[in-house]
Structure 1
């Protein structure tokens, strides 16, 4: 079960020390620091036969499934060819109009709003002191 702030509730309702430290550290980061950390986050995906991303056509439009761990990818796709890259690379490589769903079978799946991340990066380039958002859509 998930606790507020991303901590993991252990048996007996306790949070691990690692989770507590992570939660406190993230809570003290500026938006710019969170953005920089997010850009370096590694995500895993099922590798198609041709270079690129395996894009699924959904009722809501084209979508790529990304995962925060190889285990999450395996749970979703089974044994498969896979690759990984950073969010920064995904921002550059993901085609316009294709949305990224992170951890679709996890406890807290979310849409990675690549367009918003690109806008924040552009704003950061123009004004390095800007505290832009992370581009995460929790809807």
Structure 2
């Protein structure tokens, strides 16, 4: 783990949940671009997921040379089909599932409470 990773992890750990959510919404994610508009959805035991990556390099390690696209987490939440979740960095040490429906619910609750 690099010093940069350690500092970033420490900063994230000290953020409030709303600060982490705000930071996450502006993060850029990369994904393999299919031939047709949309996402490459994989069926898993836990339901349908789209593999997304925090860097082009991570996408390349997963998919090899491929067409790609990128978007922010905020836009991804709006673009994912209903019931489809994003699997972030599937080959990385910190893989996690990004549940768009849960993020949408959090956004809606924040708006009702006068948040962003």
TM-score, with structure 2 as normaliser: 0.90
Provide the aligned C-alpha RMSD in A: 1.5
Structure 2 unaligned segments of length 5 or more: list them. none
Are 1:123 and 2:96 an aligned pair? no
CA gap 1:86/1:22 in 2 versus in 1, 3 angstroms: same
**C-alpha separation between the residues in 2 aligned to 1:61 and 1:123?**
25
**C-alpha separation between the residues in 1 aligned to 2:10 and 2:32?**
33
TM-score, with structure 1 as normaliser: 0.76
**C-alpha separation between the residues in 1 aligned to 2:32 and 2:90?**
13
Structure 1 unaligned segments of length 5 or more: list them. 1-7, 9-14, 130-139
SS at match of 1:51: coil
**1:12-91 correspondence runs (5 A):** 16=3, 18-91=4-77
1:52 positional shift: 1.1
Give the number of the structure whose residues are more often helix, by fraction: 2
1:28 positional shift: 2.9
Give the structure with higher Rg (CA): 1
